[in-house]
A = this chain, B = another copy of it.
Amino acid sequence: MNKFEQEAKKYFSNNVTDRDRAIFEGAITLGAIFHQFIGTPIKNDPKTIESLEKSIELSMSCQPYIEKITAKIIPSRLKSGEHIYDYSELRGENLILEVISKYGNVRVHSGMKYIDELDFPLMYIEKIEE
C-alpha cells in the first residue's frame, strides 16, 4: 500500500474490512456511472452504441479499485433515428452494467439491470470472492 492509499485509509473506520471496502468501491462506481451518463442522447446505430459503451468502460475504470467494467446498451430498446426527433436517451431501461472491484484479496462482482417486476434499474451484488 503506497502513501496515497495509506492517507486515504485514515478516513475509514478501523473496523472496515477488505470485503467492506471492495463492496464500497464497486457500489460507488455503479451509482456514478448511472448518474453521469443517464440522459445521454443515443439511437440504434451500432457505431454510436459501441462508442458510448467503450467510453463508459474506459473512463469509469479510472475510479479507485475498479478492475473491470462492462457496459451493454440494449439496441432493441432504442429509437432508430428515422426522423430528426427519433432518438432516445440512455436510461435504466436500456443499460446493463457489470463492475468488478478488488480490494486486498477480495473481489466483488456487482451489476445493474432493469427489473420488470420492480419497474426499476436494480443494482445488486452478484458474487463476493475472498
Contact = CB atoms under 8 A, between A and B. Distances in A.
Contact of A8 (B20, B32, B42, B118): B118
Given A34-B39, A59-B40, A13 B84 contact: no
A124 B31 contact: no
Contact of A39 (B38, B47, B58, B126): B38
A30 interface: yes
Interface string A17-39: 00111011111111111111111
Contact of A51 (B4, B12, B36, B55): B55
Contacts of A92: 89
B115 A8 contact: yes
Central interface residue in A13, A16, A55, A87, by most chain B CB within 10 Å: A55
8 contacts: A27-B31, A35-B36, A39-B39, A40-B59, A41-B62, A51-B54, A55-B55, A65-B84
